[in-house]
Chain A
């Protein structure tokens, strides 16, 4: 045996990973070979060096950030996901808001005082001039009266059925004169940085001028959770936009009017519209997820990878991690459950229940248990 035979085994000898007979042979070789012993020493030094130098350090905040990224991906509460709730809320604006609203109100009153003859007509001036402002509603411009009529309608339950399914933004377009509406719509879209505090894009709904109401729900950062349903009370994007209004102009008053109307008139309308939006969302979501699952990926296990279809899906939203089959199944189950809960169509509900039952009886499914829970709820 030449030296190369032994040299090739010195690595195994160093790791004590040779059969006893070979180990003995190499041991004998090393006793007589200076070169062999030197190689063994070098391997020892290399091992020490690798043990010493493999430790990656980096700043502590780097590791904390990494941990938080993982938690965000998992949807843990300890790391707040990037969503609209992190945008400044109305209550947090405090004194600035109150002062500005007061200043705007005074400006409007002065305006009305100066132009009351134009607004109310000459014969109304003496009568209304002595009355408190709150009592001037009869003489208010048509827009104001319309708002009041709407309020009255809500109180008596006589809501215009044509408007019952109308989303809030669309109602603004109908209620306000064109110029005012444009101004309001423009000012209701806040000049906020759409990037969340952690730097991710908030997937805000499209411009209000283009879409009457946000059809898309705000997408949470963590797809480990099912995609959250759009809110029934007000779409989150709309809430974010109405929360932020510029200060010091008539938009403030208009905003107040709208808020008043929303509080008094719209809840039931919005409830109905919300159901429709939510149902449509889940129907679309279910179709998308079914297509995704049918595109392959059932064989994906714990160690596997995602399908190209899933990768392309999630490549569009890089802030989110790649979806797994389990994620997709979870979302599909959620969509079916929501449709079954919301749909007025008994056939559609039955179809959804059947699909959920299929998931509940599939022992290989990652969502079997969850599906059973949903079935119980639907009973």
Chain B
């Protein structure tokens, strides 16, 4: 979407809506499709938190999540005209982001095989949280994310898609190109791992 397409909010009517009043994604998208940058700004603010959380959980890296979320919104804006407003915006946005993230994760996955995980006793070295630490609220959350990111990518991906994006086994399997049975077993292992790591917090 070029800069030439950008229009004043007045032209698209979004500003006519009372400040603070919730506007549906659909209306914002329609306005944004007509070039209303402020409408797209609202979509950014509405969905960035959830998207960032999802991608950060998936990648385990603040910088990667930051880059991917930005890129996802850029691509969404560039392709917004193709988007059909009868669908929900977030799933489309998160698919863009997930694809970007998954490309990164595949690289990590290759270097982190199941055998390696077994050798390590499914207990890899804990990751440094880095700037993500500032977004954490309390020790329990910190420990949860530490455990999540310490998990091999293979298992973490399935777990995050299930628990953060509420995808069912068939959707996960179809996306990752693995049978639903494999989704089941990976998810089970991931959960067992977290149960073990977070046992004291779950009692």
Residues of A participating in the B interface, judged by any CB pair closer than 8 Å: 8-12, 15, 17, 42-43, 45-47, 49-51, 53-59, 62-64, 66-67, 69-71, 73-78, 224-226, 302-305, 321-322, 324, 326, 330, 366, 370
The listed residue with most A CB atoms (<10 A of its CB), out of B75, B99, B191, is B191
| B44 with A50: CB separation less than 8 A | no
Most buried by B among A12, A49, A70: A70
In the complex, number of A-B residue pairs with CB atoms less than 8 Å apart: 139
Q: Within 8 Å CB of A302, what residues of B?
A: 75, 79, 96, 99
Query: With A56-B135, A63-B49 given, is the CB distance from A78 to B188 under 8 Å?
Result: no
A66-B52, A70-B44, A224-B78 are known contacts. Are A50 and B188 too (CB-CB below 8 A)? no
On whether A45 and B74 interact (CB within 8 A), knowing A56-B135, A66-B66, the answer reads no
Q: Is B17 an interface residue (CB 8 A)?
A: no
> Beta-carbon contacts of B33-72 to A below 8 Å, as 1s and 0s?
0000110110011001100110011000000001101110
Which B residues are within 8 Å of any A CB, using their own CB?
A: 2-4, 6, 37-38, 40-41, 44-45, 48-49, 52-53, 56-57, 66-67, 69-71, 73-75, 77-79, 96, 99-100, 103, 132, 134-137, 140-141, 144-145, 162-164, 168-169, 180, 184-185, 187-188, 191, 194-195, 198, 201-202
Q: A10's closest neighbor in chain B, by CB?
A: B188
Task: For the complex of A and B, list the 4 residue pairs with the smallest distance between their C-beta atoms, beginning with the closest.
Answer: A11-B188, A303-B99, A58-B135, A76-B37
Determine the chain B residues whose CB is within 8 A of the CB of A49 once the complex forms.
Answer: 140, 144, 198, 201-202
Residues of chain B within 8 A of A305, CB atoms compared: 100, 103
B168 to chain A, nearest CB (A): 7
* Nearest neighbor of B78 in chain A, beta-carbon distance: A326
The CA-CA distance from A66 to B45 in the complex, in Å, is: 9
> Cβ of B41: which chain A residues have Cβ within 8 Å of it?
67, 71, 76, 78
User: Could you tell me the dominant secondary structure of chain B's interface residues?
Assistant: helix
> Which residues does chain A contribute within 8 Å of B74, judged by CB atoms?
70, 73-74, 224, 321
Which of B53, B169, B180 is close to A54, meaning CB atoms less than 8 Å apart? B53
**Also in contact, A56 and B53, with CB within 8 A (given A43-B191, A73-B74):** yes
Q: Which residues of B contact A73 (CB under 8 A)?
A: 70, 73-74
Please give me the residue from chain A that is nearest to B140 by CB atom: A53
| A75 / chain B contacts, CB cutoff of 8 Å | 3
Contact residues in B for A226 (Cβ distance below 8 Å): 2-3
Docked-complex contact B135 and A62, CB < 8 angstroms: yes
B160 nearest in chain A by CB position: A54
Taking the closest CB of chain A, its distance from the CB of B35, in whole angstroms, is 11
Contact B49 A303 (CB under 8 A): no
A137 to B56, CA, bound (A): 71
